[in-house]
Amino acid sequence: MISLNGLRKRYGDRTVIDELSLDVRPGAVTGFLGPNGAGKSTTMRLILGLDRPTAGTALIGGLPYHRIRNPLRTVGALLDARALHPGRSGRAHLTALARSNGIPLRRVTEVLETVGLGKAARGRAGALSLGMSQRLGIAAALLGDPEVLMFDEPVNGLDPDGVRWVRDLMRSLADEGRTVFVSSHLMSEMQLTADHLVVIGRGRLIADAPLAEIIARGSLTAVVVRTPHADDLAVRLGAAGLRWERPGENELVVTGATVEHVGDLAHEAGIRLHELRPREASLEQAYQELTADSVEYGARRERV
Protein backbone atom coordinates (compact mmCIF):
# COMPACT_ATOMS: atom_id res chain seq x y z
CA MET A 1 0.00 0.00 0.00
CA ILE A 2 1.06 3.57 -0.68
CA SER A 3 0.25 6.09 2.07
CA LEU A 4 0.60 9.86 1.85
CA ASN A 5 0.13 11.95 4.96
CA GLY A 6 0.20 15.75 4.86
CA LEU A 7 2.57 15.65 1.90
CA ARG A 8 3.87 19.05 0.79
CA LYS A 9 6.44 20.13 -1.76
CA ARG A 10 7.60 23.66 -2.42
CA TYR A 11 10.03 24.95 -5.03
CA GLY A 12 11.03 28.40 -3.87
CA ASP A 13 7.83 30.31 -3.21
CA ARG A 14 5.69 27.94 -5.31
CA THR A 15 3.73 25.17 -3.60
CA VAL A 16 3.42 22.21 -5.96
CA ILE A 17 1.94 19.66 -3.52
CA ASP A 18 -0.22 21.00 -0.72
CA GLU A 19 -1.21 18.83 2.29
CA LEU A 20 -1.91 15.72 0.22
CA SER A 21 -3.17 12.75 2.24
CA LEU A 22 -4.47 9.49 0.76
CA ASP A 23 -4.03 5.72 0.66
CA VAL A 24 -3.55 3.69 -2.52
CA ARG A 25 -4.74 0.21 -1.60
CA PRO A 26 -3.87 -3.22 -3.00
CA GLY A 27 -6.18 -5.27 -5.19
CA ALA A 28 -7.36 -2.35 -7.32
CA VAL A 29 -6.23 -0.13 -10.17
CA THR A 30 -6.14 3.41 -8.80
CA GLY A 31 -6.17 6.09 -11.48
CA PHE A 32 -4.33 9.32 -10.72
CA LEU A 33 -5.86 12.27 -12.55
CA GLY A 34 -5.37 16.01 -12.72
CA PRO A 35 -4.77 18.85 -15.17
CA ASN A 36 -1.32 19.69 -16.52
CA GLY A 37 0.73 21.14 -13.67
CA ALA A 38 -1.50 19.58 -10.99
CA GLY A 39 1.44 17.80 -9.36
CA LYS A 40 0.92 14.18 -10.41
CA SER A 41 4.48 13.50 -11.56
CA THR A 42 5.89 15.36 -8.56
CA THR A 43 3.79 13.21 -6.24
CA MET A 44 5.14 10.04 -7.83
CA ARG A 45 8.71 11.35 -7.56
CA LEU A 46 8.16 12.05 -3.87
CA ILE A 47 6.83 8.53 -3.31
CA LEU A 48 9.93 7.07 -4.99
CA GLY A 49 12.36 9.28 -3.08
CA LEU A 50 13.51 11.12 -6.20
CA ASP A 51 12.50 14.41 -4.56
CA ARG A 52 12.45 15.24 -0.86
CA PRO A 53 9.15 16.49 0.59
CA THR A 54 9.01 19.88 2.25
CA ALA A 55 6.69 18.36 4.85
CA GLY A 56 4.68 15.19 5.43
CA THR A 57 5.43 11.59 4.51
CA ALA A 58 5.15 9.27 1.52
CA LEU A 59 5.34 5.61 2.51
CA ILE A 60 5.34 2.31 0.64
CA GLY A 61 4.35 -0.60 2.83
CA GLY A 62 4.85 1.62 5.86
CA LEU A 63 8.40 2.69 4.92
CA PRO A 64 9.91 5.61 3.02
CA TYR A 65 11.49 4.44 -0.22
CA HIS A 66 15.09 4.94 0.98
CA ARG A 67 14.54 2.47 3.84
CA ILE A 68 13.21 -0.35 1.65
CA ARG A 69 15.62 -3.24 1.24
CA ASN A 70 15.79 -4.56 -2.33
CA PRO A 71 13.45 -1.81 -3.57
CA LEU A 72 12.82 -3.31 -7.04
CA ARG A 73 11.34 -6.35 -5.30
CA THR A 74 8.92 -4.09 -3.43
CA VAL A 75 7.98 -1.37 -5.90
CA GLY A 76 8.30 -1.12 -9.67
CA ALA A 77 7.82 2.17 -11.48
CA LEU A 78 7.73 3.69 -14.92
CA LEU A 79 8.03 7.47 -14.81
CA ASP A 80 10.05 8.22 -17.94
CA ALA A 81 10.43 5.56 -20.63
CA ARG A 82 13.49 7.34 -22.07
CA ALA A 83 15.42 7.45 -18.79
CA LEU A 84 18.00 4.81 -19.64
CA HIS A 85 21.40 4.51 -21.32
CA PRO A 86 20.62 4.84 -25.04
CA GLY A 87 23.67 2.86 -26.11
CA ARG A 88 22.74 -0.29 -24.23
CA SER A 89 20.40 -2.89 -25.60
CA GLY A 90 17.07 -3.32 -23.87
CA ARG A 91 18.17 -6.73 -22.61
CA ALA A 92 21.45 -5.32 -21.27
CA HIS A 93 19.51 -2.57 -19.47
CA LEU A 94 17.31 -5.11 -17.71
CA THR A 95 20.27 -7.38 -16.99
CA ALA A 96 22.11 -4.54 -15.24
CA LEU A 97 19.03 -3.83 -13.11
CA ALA A 98 18.67 -7.51 -12.24
CA ARG A 99 22.32 -7.95 -11.25
CA SER A 100 22.37 -4.80 -9.09
CA ASN A 101 19.21 -5.82 -7.27
CA GLY A 102 19.86 -9.53 -6.73
CA ILE A 103 17.15 -10.60 -9.15
CA PRO A 104 17.58 -13.93 -11.02
CA LEU A 105 18.59 -13.32 -14.64
CA ARG A 106 15.81 -15.60 -15.87
CA ARG A 107 13.42 -12.78 -14.95
CA VAL A 108 14.88 -10.68 -17.77
CA THR A 109 13.66 -13.16 -20.36
CA GLU A 110 10.35 -13.59 -18.56
CA VAL A 111 9.47 -9.89 -18.47
CA LEU A 112 10.63 -9.34 -22.06
CA GLU A 113 8.22 -12.07 -23.12
CA THR A 114 5.48 -10.50 -20.97
CA VAL A 115 5.80 -7.12 -22.68
CA GLY A 116 6.24 -8.59 -26.15
CA LEU A 117 9.63 -7.08 -27.02
CA GLY A 118 11.42 -10.24 -28.14
CA LYS A 119 14.12 -9.50 -30.71
CA ALA A 120 13.64 -5.75 -30.37
CA ALA A 121 15.34 -5.93 -26.96
CA ARG A 122 18.63 -6.90 -28.64
CA GLY A 123 19.01 -3.52 -30.35
CA ARG A 124 20.08 -0.19 -28.89
CA ALA A 125 17.50 1.14 -26.44
CA GLY A 126 18.03 4.64 -27.82
CA ALA A 127 16.77 3.49 -31.22
CA LEU A 128 13.46 2.16 -29.91
CA SER A 129 10.23 3.94 -30.74
CA LEU A 130 8.34 5.60 -27.90
CA GLY A 131 5.88 2.71 -27.78
CA MET A 132 8.67 0.14 -27.60
CA SER A 133 10.42 2.23 -24.94
CA GLN A 134 7.22 2.18 -22.90
CA ARG A 135 7.15 -1.60 -23.13
CA LEU A 136 10.77 -1.77 -21.98
CA GLY A 137 9.99 0.56 -19.09
CA ILE A 138 7.07 -1.63 -18.06
CA ALA A 139 9.37 -4.66 -18.23
CA ALA A 140 11.78 -2.91 -15.84
CA ALA A 141 8.91 -2.14 -13.45
CA LEU A 142 7.88 -5.82 -13.46
CA LEU A 143 11.43 -7.15 -13.14
CA GLY A 144 11.45 -7.65 -9.35
CA ASP A 145 7.90 -9.08 -9.28
CA PRO A 146 6.91 -6.26 -6.88
CA GLU A 147 3.72 -5.87 -4.87
CA VAL A 148 3.47 -2.14 -5.65
CA LEU A 149 3.52 -0.74 -9.20
CA MET A 150 3.44 2.88 -10.36
CA PHE A 151 3.04 4.04 -13.93
CA ASP A 152 3.08 7.63 -15.22
CA GLU A 153 1.28 7.87 -18.59
CA PRO A 154 2.11 4.25 -19.56
CA VAL A 155 0.19 4.22 -22.86
CA ASN A 156 1.98 7.20 -24.45
CA GLY A 157 3.16 6.19 -27.92
CA LEU A 158 1.34 2.85 -27.96
CA ASP A 159 -0.92 1.74 -30.80
CA PRO A 160 -4.51 0.58 -30.03
CA ASP A 161 -3.38 -3.03 -29.50
CA GLY A 162 -0.69 -1.80 -27.12
CA VAL A 163 -3.17 0.33 -25.20
CA ARG A 164 -5.46 -2.66 -24.81
CA TRP A 165 -2.53 -4.78 -23.67
CA VAL A 166 -1.58 -2.24 -20.98
CA ARG A 167 -5.20 -2.11 -19.82
CA ASP A 168 -5.34 -5.89 -19.49
CA LEU A 169 -1.96 -5.95 -17.74
CA MET A 170 -3.05 -3.38 -15.12
CA ARG A 171 -6.22 -5.31 -14.44
CA SER A 172 -4.37 -8.62 -14.10
CA LEU A 173 -1.83 -7.12 -11.68
CA ALA A 174 -4.61 -5.72 -9.50
CA ASP A 175 -6.47 -9.04 -9.63
CA GLU A 176 -3.34 -10.66 -8.19
CA GLY A 177 -3.70 -8.37 -5.15
CA ARG A 178 -1.01 -5.85 -6.07
CA THR A 179 -1.18 -2.10 -5.58
CA VAL A 180 -1.42 -0.43 -9.00
CA PHE A 181 -1.19 3.39 -9.24
CA VAL A 182 -1.56 4.83 -12.75
CA SER A 183 -1.58 8.42 -13.94
CA SER A 184 -3.12 9.27 -17.29
CA HIS A 185 -4.77 12.07 -19.27
CA LEU A 186 -6.86 9.58 -21.26
CA MET A 187 -10.25 9.67 -19.54
CA SER A 188 -11.81 7.03 -21.77
CA GLU A 189 -9.00 4.61 -20.95
CA MET A 190 -9.21 5.31 -17.23
CA GLN A 191 -12.95 4.67 -17.35
CA LEU A 192 -12.21 1.22 -18.78
CA THR A 193 -9.28 0.43 -16.49
CA ALA A 194 -9.56 1.99 -13.04
CA ASP A 195 -11.52 0.81 -10.01
CA HIS A 196 -10.74 3.86 -7.89
CA LEU A 197 -9.73 7.42 -8.73
CA VAL A 198 -7.62 10.07 -7.06
CA VAL A 199 -8.03 13.54 -8.60
CA ILE A 200 -5.79 16.47 -7.71
CA GLY A 201 -5.61 20.08 -8.85
CA ARG A 202 -2.99 22.70 -8.02
CA GLY A 203 -1.41 20.17 -5.68
CA ARG A 204 -4.55 19.66 -3.59
CA LEU A 205 -6.81 16.63 -3.31
CA ILE A 206 -10.10 17.12 -5.19
CA ALA A 207 -11.55 13.61 -5.09
CA ASP A 208 -10.66 10.17 -3.72
CA ALA A 209 -13.46 7.72 -4.48
CA PRO A 210 -14.52 4.70 -6.54
CA LEU A 211 -14.80 5.30 -10.28
CA ALA A 212 -18.57 4.78 -10.38
CA GLU A 213 -19.12 7.25 -7.54
CA ILE A 214 -17.11 9.97 -9.25
CA ILE A 215 -18.94 9.52 -12.55
CA ALA A 216 -22.31 9.60 -10.80
CA ARG A 217 -21.31 12.61 -8.71
CA GLY A 218 -20.14 14.68 -11.64
CA SER A 219 -22.56 13.81 -14.42
CA LEU A 220 -25.10 16.45 -15.43
CA THR A 221 -28.32 15.71 -17.29
CA ALA A 222 -27.55 16.41 -20.92
CA VAL A 223 -29.02 15.84 -24.35
CA VAL A 224 -27.13 15.48 -27.63
CA VAL A 225 -28.86 16.95 -30.69
CA ARG A 226 -27.79 16.85 -34.34
CA THR A 227 -29.62 19.09 -36.77
CA PRO A 228 -28.83 21.02 -39.98
CA HIS A 229 -30.52 23.99 -38.28
CA ALA A 230 -28.27 24.19 -35.22
CA ASP A 231 -28.24 28.01 -35.23
CA ASP A 232 -32.03 28.20 -35.11
CA LEU A 233 -32.25 25.56 -32.39
CA ALA A 234 -29.58 27.36 -30.35
CA VAL A 235 -31.70 30.52 -30.39
CA ARG A 236 -34.76 28.54 -29.31
CA LEU A 237 -32.83 26.85 -26.47
CA GLY A 238 -31.46 30.16 -25.25
CA ALA A 239 -34.95 31.70 -25.21
CA ALA A 240 -36.09 28.76 -23.06
CA GLY A 241 -33.26 29.45 -20.56
CA LEU A 242 -31.23 26.35 -21.44
CA ARG A 243 -27.43 26.19 -21.68
CA TRP A 244 -25.66 24.46 -24.51
CA GLU A 245 -22.26 23.74 -26.03
CA ARG A 246 -21.50 23.25 -29.70
CA PRO A 247 -18.85 20.55 -30.26
CA GLY A 248 -19.62 20.37 -33.99
CA GLU A 249 -21.20 22.47 -36.71
CA ASN A 250 -24.46 20.53 -36.63
CA GLU A 251 -24.32 19.29 -33.06
CA LEU A 252 -25.45 20.78 -29.73
CA VAL A 253 -25.09 19.38 -26.22
CA VAL A 254 -27.82 20.76 -23.99
CA THR A 255 -27.38 20.60 -20.21
CA GLY A 256 -30.13 20.59 -17.60
CA ALA A 257 -32.77 19.33 -20.02
CA THR A 258 -34.55 16.10 -20.92
CA VAL A 259 -34.85 14.54 -24.36
CA GLU A 260 -38.59 15.25 -24.28
CA HIS A 261 -38.10 18.94 -23.48
CA VAL A 262 -35.56 19.50 -26.26
CA GLY A 263 -37.66 17.50 -28.72
CA ASP A 264 -40.77 19.54 -27.93
CA LEU A 265 -38.87 22.83 -28.39
CA ALA A 266 -37.55 21.68 -31.77
CA HIS A 267 -41.01 20.50 -32.86
CA GLU A 268 -42.66 23.79 -31.85
CA ALA A 269 -40.08 25.69 -33.92
CA GLY A 270 -40.43 23.35 -36.91
CA ILE A 271 -36.76 22.32 -36.72
CA ARG A 272 -35.81 19.00 -38.32
CA LEU A 273 -33.62 16.76 -36.15
CA HIS A 274 -31.21 14.04 -37.31
CA GLU A 275 -30.37 12.80 -33.82
CA LEU A 276 -31.78 13.29 -30.34
CA ARG A 277 -30.49 11.24 -27.42
CA PRO A 278 -29.46 11.49 -23.77
CA ARG A 279 -25.72 11.73 -23.22
CA GLU A 280 -24.30 8.80 -21.30
CA ALA A 281 -22.52 9.62 -18.07
CA SER A 282 -18.78 9.70 -18.67
CA LEU A 283 -15.61 10.11 -16.67
CA GLU A 284 -14.50 12.86 -19.04
CA GLN A 285 -17.50 15.02 -18.20
CA ALA A 286 -17.23 14.34 -14.47
CA TYR A 287 -13.51 15.11 -14.56
CA GLN A 288 -14.05 18.41 -16.38
CA GLU A 289 -16.56 19.47 -13.78
CA LEU A 290 -14.34 18.43 -10.87
CA THR A 291 -11.27 20.24 -12.19
CA ALA A 292 -12.92 23.30 -13.74
CA ASP A 293 -11.37 25.61 -11.14
CA SER A 294 -7.96 23.90 -11.17
CA VAL A 295 -6.88 24.18 -14.82
CA GLU A 296 -3.77 26.33 -15.15
CA TYR A 297 -3.07 25.74 -18.84
CA GLY A 298 -6.16 25.53 -21.02
CA ALA A 299 -7.74 26.97 -24.15
CA ARG A 300 -10.97 28.91 -24.00
CA ARG A 301 -14.04 26.98 -25.18
CA GLU A 302 -17.12 28.47 -26.84
CA ARG A 303 -19.99 28.26 -24.39
CA VAL A 304 -23.40 29.88 -24.04
CATH of the domain at 263: 3.30.70.100
Q: Is residue 137 part of a domain?
A: yes
Q: What's the pLDDT score for residue 175?
A: 97
Q: Is residue 295 part of a domain?
A: no
Q: Is residue 174 part of a domain?
A: yes
State phi, psi for 123 to the nearest 5 degrees.
Answer: -85, 175
- Quote the domain boundaries for residue 224: 220-280
Taking residue 75's Cβ as centre, other Cβ atoms within 10 Å add up to: 22
AA letter at 290 = L
Q: Please give the DSSP secondary-structure letter assigned to residue 279.
A: P
**CATH number of domain containing 87:** 3.40.50.300
> Of 194, 135, 138, which Cα lies nearest the Cα of 161?
135
Q: Rounded to whole angstroms, how far apart are CA atoms 96 and 173?
A: 24
> Of 56, 17, 11, 10, which Cα lies nearest the Cα of 34?
17
Q: What's the pLDDT score for residue 303?
A: 43
Are 113 and 232 contained in the same domain?
no
Which residues are bridge partners to 152 per DSSP? 183
Q: Could you give the number of structural domains in the chain? A: 2
Residues 133, 296, 166, CA angle at the centre, nearest 5°?
25
Q: What's the pLDDT score for residue 297?
A: 54
Q: What's the pLDDT score for residue 304?
A: 39
Q: What's the pLDDT score for residue 284?
A: 86
Q: Positive or negative, the Cα torsion across 66, 2, 151, 110?
A: positive
Q: Is residue 252 part of a domain?
A: yes
Are 196 and 224 contained in the same domain?
no
Q: Is residue 45 part of a domain?
A: yes
- pTM across the whole model: 0.81
- pLDDT tens for the chain, 304 residues long, are 999 999 999 999 999 999 999 999 999 999 999 998 899 999 999 999 999 999 999 999 999 999 998 899 999 999 998 888 888 899 999 999 999 999 999 999 999 999 999 888 888 888 888 899 999 999 999 999 999 999 999 998 899 999 999 999 999 999 999 999 999 989 989 999 999 999 999 999 999 999 999 988 765 678 999 999 999 999 999 999 999 999 999 999 998 888 999 999 999 999 999 999 988 778 888 888 888 877 665 555 444 3
Are 99 and 33 contained in the same domain?
yes
Q: Is residue 215 part of a domain?
A: no
Are 199 and 234 contained in the same domain?
no
Q: Is residue 297 part of a domain?
A: no
